[in-house]
Structure 1
Amino acid sequence: MSVLRLATINVHSFRNPKNYDSNVIDLVSILQPLNLDLIATEEIQNNNHWTNFCRNLGFEHFIHGQCGQDYFANGIASRHPIKFHSNQSDSFSYSGGTRALLQCRLDGFDNLTFGVTHLDHFAEDPRLKQIEYFKPHKQNIDILMGDMNSLTRDDYSDDYFSKTVFGQRKKSGWEKPRFDLTHLITHEWDYQDAFKLKNPKIKDEQLATCAYGTRIDYIFVHPRINERWNLTECLIIDTKGVTDHNGVLAEFKLK
């Protein structure tokens, strides 16, 4: 296979946040034209919604990664057979619940290991403990995707950061903005932020992936794959409000 197109998206348990009706058909209509080989999802349950979502996208190969609360489970669906997969769930007791890391390899792309996770939505310290427990860099995960619930400082102009990012969090009584997790992944574990690689000048609301005007959904790429694969595109998928996150898409071409 010479081209690989993949995406990650938080599907909000396949419920439209406006009316809580099923959003499966709406999501399929947005994602189907993107011609994806693989999609990594967060907030799924192993039920008919997940099965119908995968099959309506033409993905006959799909897996579910359970964690303590099924609400925060992850999934991976693919056009290509899944030759290996494993799931790792933490056992930490946080108000945000337990989390998991699901990983796999595909036929035709057996030199790549894909991983997806969804980290704590309340605070950075639990997120750090979770990702350090999963150790994606030690497991040789090449492409790490998911809803990290964490920020990158370079995403925001000073004015936008002060008014929208810091201001919203102060108004809502949330934790002050922190960047420890993305710094750990990119500076200490050497992953590259795919979106920033292809869109270094985009900032503020143009890169938002959640309703609060921030980017918390990522595709991270380990540089070891650069010997064989070129990252040719990375963009935000506008989900038009049918789920509470925008998606992220990346395309790679074999050298």
Structure 2
Amino acid sequence: MRYVFAESWAPQYGNAVLSRWPIKRWKAHRVADQSDFRNVLRVTIEVPDAGEVNFHCTHLDHLDEGWRMKQVDAIMRSGGDGPHILAGGLNALDGTDYSADRWADIVKYYEEIGKPTPKVEVMQYLKAKQYVDAKDFAGECEAVVVVAKGQDVQGTCKYGTRVDYIMASPNCPYKFVPGSYTVVSSKGTSDHHVVRVDVAVPHAREPDDAEATANGQRSRVVKMTKKSSRKGIWGAK
């Protein structure tokens, strides 16, 4: 297993990307400015039969939505325009995950524990930029990860809300596999759960019936998931 690690505010804290395939390039950037200890780790992985795949891993501020907006805007301005998968603890809420009653409960709970009033600007910003949310490709829920009443998605943290995301940038060639998104319990090893999804990388556009008949060819798709072949990829022609 290959990995890269970008230290944050202390040597044992930061962002990491692990890969079964070669890591060709990586770079860490401070997200907002030099006073901000948080970073975004940009990694390019060479996937067999698929080419380069770009992952951006980050962990945004856990309290202030205004500061999170500065951080995510800085990530976009510092090189977030190329095709990539953005993943990590964004610590942001998506208002579409919750009913009005559930949202009111979240607001009340935040007040009780002394957290700032929850807001949704970060997710609205990313969706306005046409990022694709892996949650929209959900499969069956793991029973141990409870879905709170009034929300249509598994929570990813101890508060029962979804704050960890995997998203594909606009016009990204990497496609989430329908039914593959799920949240897996961290079984007490963290106050966040594991979010996972399978990703497919089309090699070429799908030919129409006439082209397929004339050329006798099919487009090739590589599916990046450990459940597939021995090498961790699945290819079909």
> What TM-score results when the alignment is normalised by the length of structure 1?
0.67
Aligned to 2:104: 162
Q: Offset of 1:70 from its aligned partner?
A: 3.8
More relative contact order in 1 or in 2 (CA 8 Å, sep 6+)?
Answer: 1
Q: Which residue identity does 2:39 align to in structure 1?
A: A
Q: Offset of 1:196 from its aligned partner?
A: 2.7
Q: Offset of 1:235 from its aligned partner?
A: 0.8
Aligned to 1:204: 151
Question: Is residue 2:130 matched to residue 1:190?
Answer: yes
Aligned to 1:143: 85
> Structure 1 unaligned runs (5+)?
1-58
2:23–2:43 contact (8 Å) kept in structure 1: yes
Aligned to 1:252: 199
Aligned to 2:37: 98
Partner of 2:8, secondary structure, is coil
Aligned to 2:169: 222
Q: Offset of 1:89 from its aligned partner?
A: 1.6
Number of residues paired by the alignment? 189
Select which of 168, 180, 184 maps to 1:237: 184
Q: Separation in 1 of the partners of 2:183 and 2:115?
A: 25
Tell me the C-alpha RMSD between the 2 structures.
2.4
> What TM-score results when the alignment is normalised by the length of structure 2?
0.72
Q: Identify if the C-alpha distance between structure 1 residues 224 and 252 changes in structure 2 by more than 3 Å, giving closer, same or farther.
A: same
Deviations 1:198-218 (A, max 9, x none): 36xx76385111111110000
> Structure 2 unaligned runs (5+)?
140-146, 202-220, 222-237
Question: Is residue 2:123 matched to residue 1:177?
Answer: no
Determine which structure has more spread, i.e. the larger CA radius of gyration.
2
2:97–2:153 contact (8 Å) kept in structure 1: no
Q: Which residue identity does 1:107 align to in structure 2?
A: E
Q: Comparing both structures, which one devotes a greater share of its residues to helix?
A: 1
| 134-143 vs 230-239, greater mean Cα deviation | 134-143
1:102–1:116 contact (8 Å) kept in structure 2: yes
